Amino acid sequence: MVFKNLEKAVEALKRDPSRPVRAQVDDLDLELRAVGSESRPVRLGDFLSSLGPWEGESTAELCARLKEARASGGSSEPPRL
């Protein structure tokens, strides 16, 4: 969705700061996103994405390892980064 004014775009961004919003003001196309503070914890998906492409085990091998860990009772929280 593209908002026609900044106020509506900011309202949408406040409702869900994890997703960028687009706005069109006159002849400018804008994308707005919230920038987190350093005190906010980094989400696992964002952290993994920042590492870049995986150059180790295949997707199938990673899925197998995760399934094995889950089957053996591995359900603890991941370590904080």
Q: What are phi and psi of 14, to 5 degrees?
A: -65, -35
Q: Say how far apart CA 66 and CA 23 lie, in whole Å.
A: 41
Query: What pLDDT is recorded for position 20?
Result: 92
Q: What are phi and psi of 69, to 5 degrees?
A: -65, -40
Query: What pLDDT is recorded for position 9?
Result: 94
Question: Is the pLDDT confidence value at 75 over 70?
Answer: no
Q: How many helices (H) and strands (E) does the chain have?
A: 3, 3
pLDDT digits (tens, 9 = 90+) for 15-74: 988 889 999 999 999 999 988 766 667 777 777 777 777 677 787 887 887 788 777 776
Domain range list for the chain: 2-34+41-71
